[in-house]
Structure 1
Amino acid sequence: MVLARFPSAGKTALIYDIGSNSGSNRSDGLTHVVTLVIAMTSEKHTATAMPDLSTVKVLVTGASGFLGLHCVKTLLDTGYSVRGTVRSVSNAQKVQPVKDVDKHGRLELVEADLKQPNSWKAAVKGVDYILHVASPFPPPGTVDDSIITTAVEGVLHVFKAAAASDSTVKRIVLTSSVVAIAEGHKYDPKQVLTEKDWTDVTSSHTGSYEKSKTLAERAAWDFVRDNKGHQFELAVVNPGFIVGPLLSAVEGGTSATIITRFLLNQMPAVPRLNMPCIDVRDCAKAHVRAMTAPEAAGHRHICANQPSYWMTDLATDLAAEFRPLGYPVPTRQIPQMVACFLGIFMKDAKAVAPRINQIISLDNSRVSEG
């Protein structure tokens, strides 16, 4: 494991990379994370070469977010021109990190909001592709069904703008999640979930976030099916728990939140949860590859390491790295019975209790086969 730090506003921000897994001899699949997209970008799948990719403009929604910013960087580094959406171009704290990855003057930032349908017509004007990464995310363990409406309507606002008669959009890549596949099922340790599986949103164990990702993705597929006259294709990326280096001190995603809770000992004990992971850099590459690969259109793409990583192993790795530096990282495992009991009183515990000790097996062959 490689971890580094950089100072920000008098505090310490973290960069972590579990993909390297240095110093560990566990066969837990972490080293496979980096290989997931390598096969996907092999020469035999290379899209038709373009003499000047800077003439190709890609819209990235949620450009200042953890994954969105990595997508922007990957696109710019590859040679594309990028238009990124943010909710406010005047929010320097969020916008400046996006500007910092633009080394060649090929980035444009515009304002757009998932809740404002009229903000998307101008955002999509003249773009060739869209990476729709933006999606609302509540704090872990909270129940907020309003994010379902925001996620679904946000998809529809973007897609309707992209389907306008004067649109130039060729393909949309939607960021979904493995939580749109793996939640709410009766547990079967032998089951391998595939792109054909969907989360059961009627299950009492399916939370607001899981519902929002599932229903937003369904809305995307339904839109494409019901609007045969549209000119764009759809590809979906379903990443696991996204980890990796932070490009912004204010936008670290869920992974940064969880890592911070470990470092500050804000978790009394560690649940043994199975965590399909993906390095954020590989996830960004998967989005860019799904944007142009002919075989990606019309498919979901599970981007997660297999076998999955256990949260207890994450705690052990963090403790080995940070306890010598004075961080009280917890490693004590919480028994399932205790988690179930705490679930009566604590939202966080209620959300994770049903999944303790359950292995999540996923078919990631669409992005791992060469």
Structure 2
Amino acid sequence: MAIILVTGASGFIASHVIRAFLQKGYNVRGTVRSEKSAAGVRKTHSQYAEKLSLVVVPDMTVLTAFDEAVQGVDGVVHLASPFIMNATDFENELFVPAIQGTNAILTSIQKHSPNVTRVVITSSFGAVVDPTKGDRPGYTYTEADWNPITTTSTFPHNAVTAYLASKTCAEQAAWDFVESQKPSFSITTLCPPLVYGPVIHAVETPAGLNTSSADIYRLINGSEKTVPPMAFWAFVDVRDAAHAHLRAFETPEAAGQRYLVSGSSYTYQQICDIIRAKFPALRDSTPEGAPGEPIPSAYKLDTRKVVNELGMKFRPLEETVTDTVMSLLTLK
């Protein structure tokens, strides 16, 4: 069976992507930054030990970082990229690893992986949304939209905007590579908004949670006394995001395409309502807010392309939140 390389294998989304490919019968080679991370990945996918191998890539900003990892593989899913919403050194924490990591993996594939025909790249809705327009009531984002803020433009110096800009620049770097280098492989980019869902990757304590899982955890641990304000108005279940990666790899028509991968609109009020209804023991530690409050008028995401071309269906918010919380309650 084909060998699929998954970069950033120890991550939240990557763990589900690896599981999706393994369950479909593929062999998976993952990249991690350390042997400690490798041990966690092996534990997560222990039932597929014979079909999973790992390569340590300590610094993906080195142009030759992935030269060993890509050899002999038949497809690549590139997920390794920082998801840091509170960065202080934007250049070194966000832009350098996101952009140079993308160029490094594509360069290595072109030089050392003649069998690769498709590279699926995890971008972000952050590369689509225009943060200068705010909630933008009445507007519907599509794959034709691009975040206008980049490293070379003037942008508000805050961590969230910098993160969004880093995702934009990394995705643009991938398309620029294809345009300039004319590789034998095609790329497909996926642009999910906030990704929630059950945690299956190795996490020792709540302090080690990935950003989006920590976003839910704070709503059940008593640290939030009121329902937080919204920053983004759409989510996708991590299991659906993983399936989209699989479909993007397997679908010939996905070559050269960009997809918004999103479930429904949502609010933190809805999340709190679901938690308080499904987990009575958490009612005292989960903000009450204004139960049943409708979603305010804000932008929408048009996902008809990913539904029609990749056959995607998306889980409802209630299922995602319930399964997420159940997984978080197993942490010590």
Other-structure match for 1:286: 244
Other-structure match for 2:140: 192
Mapping for residues 225-304 of structure 1, pairs under 5 Å: 225-228=179-182, 230-250=183-203, 252-273=209-230, 274-304=232-262
Deviation at 1:357, TM superposition (A): 5.0
Deviation at 1:221, TM superposition (A): 0.6
Using the TM superposition, name which of 241-250 and 219-228 deviates more. Answer: 241-250
Deviation at 1:93, TM superposition (A): 5.5
CA contact under 8 A between 2:70 and 2:112: conserved in structure 1?
Answer: no
Deviation at 1:92, TM superposition (A): 5.9
Other-structure match for 2:28: 82
Q: Deviations over 1:96-143 (max 9, x none)?
A: 33442515x1111111132333331010001111000111122x3444
Other-structure match for 2:55: 110
| Structure 2 Cα separation of the partners of residues 127 and 165 of structure 1 | 9
Other-structure match for 1:366: 305
Other-structure match for 1:175: 122
Which of these two proteins has the greater Rg computed from alpha carbons? 1
1:211 aligns with 2:172: no
CA contact under 8 A between 1:272 and 1:357: conserved in structure 2?
Answer: no
Q: How many residues align?
A: 290
Deviation at 1:88, TM superposition (A): 1.2
Mapping for residues 346-365 of structure 1, pairs under 5 Å: 357=296, 359-365=298-304
Q: Counterpart amino acid of 1:69?
A: S
Q: Deviations over 1:55-108 (max 9, x none)?
A: x110000111111011111101101111011111244653333442515x1111
Q: Counterpart amino acid of 1:364?
A: T
Other-structure match for 1:154: 101
Deviation at 1:285, TM superposition (A): 0.7
Structure possessing the higher relative contact order (Cα contacts under 8 Å, 6 or more residues apart): 1
CA contact under 8 A between 2:5 and 2:29: conserved in structure 1?
Answer: yes
Mapping for residues 20-35 of structure 1, pairs under 5 Å: none
Other-structure match for 2:263: 305
| Structure 2 Cα separation of the partners of residues 135 and 90 of structure 1 | 19
TM-score under structure 2 length normalisation: 0.81
Helix, strand or coil at the partner of 2:263? coil
1:63 aligns with 2:9: yes
CA contact under 8 A between 1:193 and 1:361: conserved in structure 2?
Answer: yes
| Structure 1 Cα separation of the partners of residues 114 and 44 of structure 2 | 26
TM-score under structure 1 length normalisation: 0.73
Deviation at 1:323, TM superposition (A): 4.5
Deviation at 1:326, TM superposition (A): 6.3
Match of 1:123 among 39, 64, 69: 69
Match of 1:224 among 172, 178, 181: 178
| Structure 2 Cα separation of the partners of residues 81 and 327 of structure 1 | 45
Q: Which runs of 5+ in 2 are unaligned?
A: 312-332
Other-structure match for 2:273: 316
Q: Deviations over 1:319-340 (max 9, x none)?
A: 233352465111337xxxxxxx
Percent identity over paired residues: 36
Flag the 1:151–1:316 CA change in 2: closer, same or farther, 3 A.
same
